[in-house]
Structure 1
């Protein structure tokens, strides 16, 4: 009897929470061109609340209240801070200003360079790190999730290709963004990329997935650690009971793997390493 009472109370509380939820719908635009900013991220600082806009800059964001500050951001743009009063007043269109490139582009001169890799290039691991939401009709409140690893180049390294291994993928369409951050106090800090580099998968692709980075001419300096992450931007699947992807992760003594729920959530650090790496040319 007590169990049933507790269960009914939980259902009532859940129903009240859903009724109190505020749904924001709008667009994210380029402040100079007034064109959409595709796949801009929206998040509440320090909390697991956020989402990602679509190709046309349209977003749908579920907030418990309108009392939180909202951060709107995208690679290559200055982030915008939206205060609660602006949300309460009905602001739903957000404009981002383009920024200057943060990671220096270089022309690669093929002199005395050697092939190498940064990261983990093994398929097998101790556990599978799962992403997805079986049983939910939508997953837009989980887009923006990030997973990555700390990289410590010992020499100047020109990034040639990025590689990610998916041991499982039930999505018909799955999109990630590659992010690079400076390592600051053991966690991702300043964003280094100003170009939007994405990995798009279709038809439940699995195994090693590759992005050619040569067109971006990216350089990592020696002895300057960085954090490379993938950020979940979009996914499509008709069956709500079978939606997930998985990345192999292995245990290790050092705190190497980083993760956060969305673009403004708090980073967590783990003694693990995911199966992702870069092929590089080192001097």
Structure 2
């Protein structure tokens, strides 16, 4: 095919794809307070379709035309909302999430024998760089919700002090991530173990080790495997053509890297270990 005809054909394919896309906009609201739920996630189960709401609970979701799948809306500390296809077809765009009741445990102050330790990989070097971003795209919001992490195996009761992840590269002026912890179910992340929204914000193309102080959250892990992940919540929208960040990983037979494209997509696993770790106190 002549070059000009080939280029025209490609343009027509892209144009047809854009026309076949349905864009819906709305808000996520707290049923108890009526206030917006910031950074709630929206996703279609086991498909690469989803996004994240902004600070004011506003979302913009790009769906294939004629989609007949269920939509899941969720956020840390809230019950999941299942949105049926007929609800979307009827034009509903505001979704409500009910806050989960938190049971406060009795706190017994006692002196335990604990010592500082590390959980995860604290080496900044890797065999390859795991790349994520929006390079070559005019839109970035359909990348939000991407999630990446690793399997960790505490051998004793562990108290999390700080979280660390190494960004080898970062060309974004603004990046926001959520830290998630999951129970292991059938070799994949399952039940969410955190009840509070824990975020990491990187500005001005920050790279190197990025840290979250976890002491205010009083997080404990039992002596059993757990998945720790970061979830991409937000980035600036301007000039997305050369925007990406990367995390070093090493190839290892037993350690497992997990990744999914949005909050409801299927998890994939890889025999690797990322530059991601916790400083902890362990019994």
* TM-score by shorter chain over 0.5: yes
Runs of 5+ unmatched residues, structure 1: none
| Residues 1:115 and 2:116 aligned together | yes
The residue aligned with 1:143 is 144
Aligned residues between the structures: 282
Alignment partners' CA distance in 2, 1:113 and 1:194: 25
Residue 242 (structure 1) shift: 1.8
Two-structure CA RMSD over aligned residues (Å):
1.9
Deviations 1:179-205 (A, max 9, x none): 000011110000111100000111111
Deviations 1:190-231 (A, max 9, x none): 011110000011111111111011111111011x21100000
Moved more, 128-137 or 167-176: 128-137
Alignment partners' CA distance in 1, 2:124 and 2:106: 31
Runs of 5+ unmatched residues, structure 2: none
Alignment partners' CA distance in 2, 1:87 and 1:271: 39
Residue 110 (structure 1) shift: 4.6
Moved over 3 A (4+): 2-11, 100-110
Moved more, 250-259 or 9-18: 9-18
The residue aligned with 1:249 is 249
Is the contact between residue 48 and residue 262 of structure 1 (CA under 8 Å) also seen in structure 2?
A: yes
Closer, same or farther in 2 for the Cα pair 1:217/1:106, shift >3 Å?
Answer: farther
Deviations 1:152-175 (A, max 9, x none): 110000011100110111111110
Alignment partners' CA distance in 2, 1:105 and 1:178: 25
Closer, same or farther in 2 for the Cα pair 1:5/1:59, shift >3 Å?
Answer: same
Deviations 1:97-127 (A, max 9, x none): 1113499796674521011111110000000
Closer, same or farther in 2 for the Cα pair 1:116/1:28, shift >3 Å?
Answer: same
Is the contact between residue 163 and residue 278 of structure 2 (CA under 8 Å) also seen in structure 1?
A: yes
- 1:1-283 paired onto structure 2 within 5 Å: 1=1, 8-65=8-65, 66-101=67-102, 109-222=110-223, 224-236=224-236, 238-283=238-283
Is the contact between residue 140 and residue 237 of structure 2 (CA under 8 Å) also seen in structure 1?
A: no
User: What's the TM-score, normalizing by structure 2?
Assistant: 0.94
Closer, same or farther in 2 for the Cα pair 1:15/1:106, shift >3 Å?
Answer: farther
User: What's the TM-score, normalizing by structure 1?
Assistant: 0.94
Alignment partners' CA distance in 1, 2:62 and 2:213: 35
